[in-house]
Structure 1
Amino acid sequence: MTPRVDLATLYEQHHLGLIRLARLLVDDLPSAEDAVHDAFLGMHRNLDSIRDADAALAYVRRAVVNQSRSQLRRRRTVREHLKGAEPEVTPPADDDVLLAEEHREVLGALDRLPPRQREVLVLRYWSDLSEAQIADALGISKGTVKSQASRAVAALGEAMGVQR
């Protein structure tokens, strides 16, 4: 008999890391928290169909990435329809204090990457996942992970003015 997934323990041990992951993908903390909570809720709904307790973290990580993508798509759609009605949003006054200049530059360059490249870098360097784990989380091949990472690192280097 396969061991049952202990959802409460999984949440307790990994929700903060998953929120950090989602935060890098969706740009704001409330949306990141929503993505993680929705992923755990979906896992709770499908708990009986998860046969491998060891794969539960990979399952919920992939769900967080998918929830983040969905939020970005919805956000983009709303912005397209409300372009004229949406007020100009400015960063908080203490934004400059929160991050050192180089961190803002890196995060800005990361934000300008195509979504797949950004996801690969965040999962690799922030979540410290292997190529196989990234491929599983994004539903792509390991070769695609390698090529997207290579392109993303090159684009970040160019954006940051790093000489090769």
Structure 2
Amino acid sequence: MDNGRAEDRREYMPDGSAERSVERTLGHLRTMDGVAPAQPAGPLTLEDLYKIHRMRLVRLAILLVDEPATAEDVVQEAFTGLYRNWGKLRDAASAVAYLRTAVVNGSRSVLRRRKTAREYVPPHVVNARSAESLAMLSSEHQSVVNALSKLPPRQREVLVLRYYGGLSEAEISEVAGISKGTVKSTASRALEALQKAMSA
């Protein structure tokens, strides 16, 4: 991990307890998702990108929208968009950045539609995560994931991109379409809210 990312994190929360919990939990999920398959020699195809990055993108979407089936749809839509824009991309790195941004934007759209629908239909609680996924988490990790799901979407997005996605402030700023200063202040507010939620 580079020093810039470590400094980014230290500025978010002086005591760091909520931050350590988020980092442990989302790092644990990243580990559970395993190492991406080795990249083939030569230029990457769309199929290669799908094999290498699909599962991590699905987990990213699950952490943002709370529903595995919806997360799968968001990721599928991101790959469809990548297919449509394949000729405009310079290299594999820009393709991965495109996919990550598409998943974040697709998740935002889902949350907006969900909020609109709830204004017309009485809200109901949906147990979104698969039983096997939660069963594999310790009670500490489960409480962190549950607290994350209660954060406002932008705050959850910044923490998930930072601690699950492993992105720097600059990368989060680019993916989320917000300034670096907003990334920093949003992360700080999110960690404070998470600390309160986990202490209650």
**Superposition TM-score tier, normalisation by shorter sequence:** 0.7 to 0.9
Higher RCO (Cα < 8 Å, 6 or more apart): 2
Partner of 1:148: 186
1:58–1:133 CA contact under 8 A, matched in 2: no
- 1:75 and 1:4 map into 2 onto residues whose CA distance is 39
Matched, 1:10 2:49: yes
Give the Cα–Cα distance (whole angstroms) in 1 for the partners of residues 126 and 153 of structure 2. Answer: 23
Unaligned runs of 5+ in 2: 1-41
Query: RMSD across aligned C-alpha pairs, in angstroms?
Result: 2.5
The CA distance in 2 between the partners of 1:90 and 1:71, in whole Å, is 15
Question: Which stretch shows the higher mean deviation, 127-136 or 153-162?
Answer: 153-162
- TM value normalised by structure 2: 0.70
Say whether the 8 Å CA contact 1:124–1:130 is kept in structure 2.
yes
Corresponding residue of 1:51? 90
CA distance in 2, matches of 1:91, 1:23: 12
TM-score relative to the length of structure 1: 0.84
For 1:118, the equivalent position in structure 2 comes to: 156
The answer for unaligned runs of 5 or more in structure 1 is none
Shift of 1:57: 0.5
Name the % identity.
54
Deviation for aligned residue 1:13: 0.6
Match of 1:100 in 2: 138
Letter in 2 for 1:127: G
Aligned residues: 156
Name the aligned partner's letter for residue 60 of structure 1. Answer: L
